[in-house]
Amino acid sequence: MKKLVTEVSGVVEAPAAQVRAALARALLPGGRDVLGKFTVEDIPGHTSAVEVTEAVIAFQGGWWYRGEWSLAPHPAGTLLVHRVYNVARRARWGVGLANRFFAGFADDTRRSFTETLTRLGADLGVGTRVT
């Protein structure tokens, strides 16, 4: 069961296939742009399961975290949505405590998303905006 913790979205003024490739370069170690499921070491000593489809790049790691980046057509290009979920199977109630009730988490997620969106726009030479 997934419980939404926070969500942020934005528009990239480019087709979804170009945005997904740029997003893979920005998020995946070595810019790996491969469809499928695999594991990556995202920080030393920590691994995450990664799922990459045409429309979603998802990371799941630790006992509770799942971050999904989804892409959908938009009149101005591509709508990019980043959602963070609590996927804890046990001690779900402890996730908020362990993360100090997510104080500032939404703002940090929005700030990080905005930086990634800006980087995608620069990489593709197109405009972006947070929605």
Per-residue pLDDT reduced to its tens digit, 40-99: 777 777 788 889 999 999 999 877 889 999 999 999 999 999 999 988 876 655 565 555
pLDDT at residue 27, as a whole number: 86
* 102 within domain boundaries: yes
pLDDT at residue 12, as a whole number: 98
* 16 within domain boundaries: yes
Is pLDDT above 80 for 127? yes
* 26 within domain boundaries: yes
Is pLDDT above 80 for 129? yes
Nearest to 86 by CA among 97, 76, 75: 97
* 131 within domain boundaries: no
Count of domains observed in the chain:
1
CATH number of domain containing 43: 3.30.530.20
Per-residue pLDDT reduced to its tens digit, 30-39: 767 778 888 8
Give pTM, 2 decimals. Answer: 0.84
Is pLDDT above 70 for 101? no
Nearest to 18 by CA among 118, 130, 120, 115: 120
Q: Residue 96 belongs to what domain range?
A: 3-126
pLDDT at residue 96, as a whole number: 58
pLDDT at residue 62, as a whole number: 75
Is pLDDT above 90 for 118? yes
